[in-house]
Amino acid sequence: MIDNTRRAGTATASAPAGIGNIGVGFDLLGHTITGPADRATVRRIDEPVVRITAITGDAAGFDRLPLEAGLNTAGRALIELRERHGLAHGFELALHKGIPLGSGLGGSAASCVAALVAANALLDAPITRDQLYPLALVGEAAASGSPAGDNVAPMLLGGVVLSTPVRVIALAAPRLYCAAVHPDYVLETRRAREALTAPYPLADFVRQSGHLALFLTGLARGDLELVAEGLRDVLVEPRRAPLIPGFAAVREAALAHGALGASISGAGPTVFGWFADRGHADTAARAMQEGFARSGLRSEAWVSPVAGPRAELVD
């Protein structure tokens, strides 16, 4: 689908927060949630450059983000858009951060996707969301050094998305709900990545792959029993959980209140659970917050359909 064009002037787009990995699909699966979002306002300029004019926001720490376009996920993606599509003109970009930094909710991806969707609307010949994906991957790599699409892909397409380096596929999403709880705790992505560097025995892969296969089959068939059987991360979560104070209690709170499964969103420290209905998700979200509170951590919680929104132009 081609977004509406606004060939000159300015466009603003909003991109939602996302749950990366969905526990069982490391670097491959993600979905968006209603709740926090990043906003990008892009102005088409005659100069052949990309320039970030401002980063503002509700999110703590936004003033630490790089204003140098090549080092910023959104700036880097627009540079790639100019280069790959041979644009003569440039862009000025202002970001407003609504997604907490370092939360595991895909804030850097959301800025990147919002900027691309806004800039695309200013092109003489706008491109499709699928065509924005490789550009978003390049932008995302500016933050993480890794080209995983598990956050940018669902922000581009909405809902639950499978992404590989060359392919995005929107998956069927049964009418499930997600509770995401973000503790007020700084977990550096670098530390979260380092926890995964030691190699893995094949048996762990087989177990995790089996869960992934059940999860995907469950989603495709709308079979919640299969989804629940599959929604278990035996590969990454055991290594990252010790980095998140209270994780075990929070996960257990989710399961005790009906979660089909619960795990870490992205690199953490946000913990999410999937639920068959909004009532269970609401109750569980409060219990999950109490879990963090017992570790002395304040937290924010959001409840959202798993089939969350995609990035959109805003007026």
Interface positions with its own copies (CB under 8 A): 25-29, 148, 162, 164-165, 167, 169, 171, 196-202, 205-206, 208-214, 216-217, 220, 226, 229, 235-236
In degrees and rounded to multiples of 5, residue 138 shows phi and psi of -65, -40
> Closest separation between CB of residue 26 and its own copies, Å?
6
What is d(CA 261, CA 85) in angstroms, rounded to the nearest whole number? 42
**Distances, alpha carbon 302 to alpha carbons 118, 173, 195, 264, in Å:** 26, 19, 27, 15
> Closest separation between CB of residue 28 and its own copies, Å?
5
The DSSP call for residue 71 is G
User: For its own copies, which is the closer residue by CB, 169 or 256?
Assistant: 169
What is d(CA 174, CA 306) in angstroms, rounded to the nearest whole number? 8
Helix (H, G, I), strand (E, B) or coil at 282: helix
What is d(CA 226, CA 211) in angstroms, rounded to the nearest whole number? 9
> Closest separation between CB of residue 200 and its own copies, Å?
6
Q: Is 105 annotated as a binding residue?
A: yes
> Closest separation between CB of residue 118 and its own copies, Å?
29
What is d(CA 32, CA 189) in angstroms, rounded to the nearest whole number? 20
Cross-strand bridge partners of residue 56 = 96
What is d(CA 254, CA 286) in angstroms, rounded to the nearest whole number? 9
Q: Is 108 annotated as a binding residue?
A: yes
For residue 278, give both structure tokens. Answer: 């909004």
Q: Is 246 annotated as a binding residue?
A: no
Cross-strand bridge partners of residue 180 = 272, 302
> Closest separation between CB of residue 140 and its own copies, Å?
15
For residue 148, give both structure tokens. Answer: 């995983």
Beta strands in 6-159 (DSSP E): 10-20, 29-45, 50-57, 90-97
User: For its own copies, which is the closer residue by CB, 114 or 148?
Assistant: 148
> Closest separation between CB of residue 165 and its own copies, Å?
8
Q: Is 104 annotated as a binding residue?
A: yes
Q: Is 106 annotated as a binding residue?
A: yes
User: For its own copies, which is the closer residue by CB, 35 or 230?
Assistant: 230
Amino acid at 309: P
User: For its own copies, which is the closer residue by CB, 167 or 298?
Assistant: 167
User: For its own copies, which is the closer residue by CB, 115 or 235?
Assistant: 235
What is d(CA 200, CA 205) in angstroms, rounded to the nearest whole number? 7
User: For its own copies, which is the closer residue by CB, 25 or 273?
Assistant: 25
Q: Is 101 annotated as a binding residue?
A: yes
Q: Is 103 annotated as a binding residue?
A: yes
Binding residues for ATP: 100-110
Binding residues: 100-110
